[in-house]
Amino acid sequence: NQVKIAMMFSDDNKSEEDDFTGSVMYSGRSGCWGTCHHDAKDMPDAPKQEDIDAYEQKDQIDMKQGIRKYLTESRTKVEVAGRRGKKRGGWDKLKTPEEIKEELDAGRYMDLIRHKAGTKESENGYILDDRIMTGGEEVLFNSILENGLWVVELKRKLNSDKAGDIALDFDKLYNFGFAIHDDYTNGRFHHVSLGYKLGFDNDQADINAVKK
């Protein structure tokens, strides 16, 4: 990718356990980082293809090209510390399809949009048990290169009833993060932000959209 931008959104609903957490665990702190695990493709604990082929739930999601992004909410367990030789991650701890649907219906997913700069190409999907890059409401991008800098404009509807889309309400805050692939990189080689807050006429937001 010469330049590609990806953005992820989630709600900022608070839980009793962690005041910094939205419906997606730690999304208010980590942004996109919560979707990338130690056992994803090209990461240190990525499983071998023969291990994937032997996994009894391998057909539940697309694992043909390795393990892609996923959320902790889609697994029964995710190993984080890696103590005593344990491999980190939870690729083979998938919840059942029924449990995944419950998580999706409860809003525990990251809305994901992507765009290749200098083109009209864009994708709108979500991340939960896998990275799904279809099915979302249409998003429109305009990107131009000005004096060595890319200027990117994004347009999307505030409300959507499509699975995996986050509907944006003027009275709420939302967590978001972004990643930029630059210099014709691909895969894991990209710049990733921490979590930010998006709001509408709300001075508590990092990015505060104000109506003109």
SS (H, E, C) the chain: CCEEEEEEEEECCCCCCCCCCCCCCCHHHHHHHHHCCCCCCCCCCCCCHHHHHHCCCCCCCCCCCCCCCCCHHHECCCECCCHHHCCCECCCCECCHHHHHHHHHCCCCEEEEEEECCCCCEEEEEECCCEECCCCCCCEEEEEEECCEEEEEEECCCCCCCCCCCCCCCCCCEEEEEEEEECCCCCCCCEECCCEEEEECCCCCCEEECCC
Q: Which of 83, 92, 41, 82 is nearest to 64 (CA)?
A: 41
pTM of the model: 0.90
Within a domain: residue 105?
yes
Provide the pLDDT confidence category of residue 26 given band limits of 50, 70 and 90. Answer: confident
Could you tell me the CA-to-CA distances from 135 to 101, 123, 138, 156 in Å, in that order?
Answer: 15, 9, 9, 14
Dihedral pair phi/psi, residue 180, rounded to 5°: -130, 120
What is the tally of structural domains in the chain? 1
Q: How many whole angstroms from its chain centre is CA 188? A: 14
Q: What are phi and psi of 100, to 5 degrees?
A: -65, -40
Q: Is residue 149 part of a domain?
A: yes
- Domain presence at residue 79: no
Is residue 88 included in any domain, yes or no?
Answer: no
pLDDT digits (tens, 9 = 90+) for 117-145: 999 899 999 999 999 999 999 999 999 99
Per the CB < 8 A criterion, the answer to whether 174 and 23 are in contact is no
In a domain, 73, yes or no: no
Q: Which residues form the domain of 131?
A: 3-38+95-209
21 pLDDT exceeds 70? no
- Among 113, 109, 105, smallest CA distance to 130 is for 109
The per-residue pLDDT for range 42-96, each reduced to its tens digit, is: 999 999 999 999 999 999 999 998 999 999 999 999 999 999 999 999 999 999 9
Look over the chain and give the mean of its residue pLDDT values, rounded to a whole number.
91
User: Is residue 48 situated within a structural domain?
Assistant: no
- Specify if 134 maps to a domain: yes
Within a domain: 132: yes
